[in-house]
Structures are given as C-alpha cells and as structure tokens.
Amino acid sequence: MADVLVINFPQPVRKRLKLTYEDVVSWNPQLIYADITGYGDVGPDAELPGFDITAYWARSGLLAMTRDAGAPPTLPVAGSGDHATAIGLYAAIVTGLYRRERTGKGSYVTTSLIAEGAWSCAMAIQAALCGAQFFPLHDRKKPPNATFNVYQSADDQWFLIVVQPKDWAALATAIGRPELLTDPRFADAAKQAANSTQLTAILDEVFVPSPYRTGAKHWIAHTSPMEWCTNLKT
C-alpha cells in the first residue's frame, strides 16, 4: 500500500475519478492524502483550476508588488510559485508521516497556490488589512536609498549595491569619488536619503556603460558588498 498520495486534480475531476479523500481513505486508513489546489478546498473558486502565475502570483498580490514604479506587472520566473508551494506541501506530508509514526493514523494534509502566495507576502497582506500606509513602489532613478539599488556597468551587467552607513566611506573611495564624503548633500544617511535622486545620478555616471568604464566584475571584486544580478540566459 502507498504511504502518500499527492493529488492536484481540480475538485470536479477528483469526484469523477473517485479520488476524493473520502473515496481513498477507505482503501488505506493510514494513507497521507496530500491535497494541492489552486484556490483551496472551500469558497467560490475552490473548483477552479489554478496556475503558478494566476493563483500564486496574481491573486495573492505578489505580481503587483514585485515591479518598479511606473512599470506594469511582468511575468516572473516560470514555476517559482509552484516550487515554493511544493515545499509547503512537503512540510505537511512529513508532518503527517511523523504523526502516523506516533499514532498509527493517516492524515489529510493540504495547501494551495493562493495560500502559499499569501504566506509569501503575508506582511503586506496583514498591513493592508490594518489600513497601513505602504511605501511607494521602488523607483530605480528615485530610490529611498541610492546605496541600496541596482546599477549597470560598462559590460552591460546589472549588479546590486547594499551599503550600510558605516561602509559609505569605503564605497566612495572604491569608486574613485572620495569628494562625495565631503559633499554636504551626502554627509550622513538622512541627507543621502533626502538627496537620493542626485546620488543615484552620480553613481549611474560612475557605472554608466562606456568603453572607457570598468565592468561589473571589477566593481564586485573591489567594492563590498555588491552582488551580480545573475543572468541565467547568458
């Protein structure tokens, strides 16, 4: 007999194939019945098919939040929501197996794409339910912090800068612009935030694509912390 049955058929298909939990548990009371759906087992959308991009990304709110200001929502990496949801179902399955080891009883465990999407942006959902005021979408040209932003190098590579206030002097020195340390616009973190648009423009000029500029490999090797925005297609 099987230890685990993973099923992702929509509810009408399960009923037609007689693969609901009630149908199957009579064959094997110790079975871990692992149920995954698009929109959960109850509610007006319970019988609808669900997809990574629809249930996990779009309906949860993640798709609208993971974009820059002024840009439309864009398609994320294919399967990324499916993978996250699979981890949730895996956790439910191993918990059910542990319970069976201790009690001898099977379990009906479940999750959904929308539930896992909601978990991924739970902080924002909770804030919305409480009427919180949200930060605006990230604007690369006008970020709240120019030293926590993405930039493009001479070799057309994008990289991320994450600099704490204590490391500002090291960054300014590493990019060959020590005069920024005495510029009153950037004297401390608060002034850098107030003048982030100007500082971003300066950093863009440092890193701007040009045959006379240095590539991302140089900056990442000599300036910390920076990290590649890895392009898996090249």
Catalytic residues: 82
Spatial separation of the C-alpha atoms in residues 46 and 56, rounded to whole Å: 14
The length of the chain in residues reads 234
Spatial separation of the C-alpha atoms in residues 106 and 118, rounded to whole Å: 27
Q: Which amino acid is at 80?
A: S
| Structural contact between residues 84 and 116, judged by C-beta atoms closer than 8 angstroms | yes
Report the b/e string of 13-28 with b at 16+ CB within 10 A: ebeeeeebbeebbeee
Tally the C-alpha atoms within 13 A of residue 25's C-alpha that lie toward its C-beta. 13
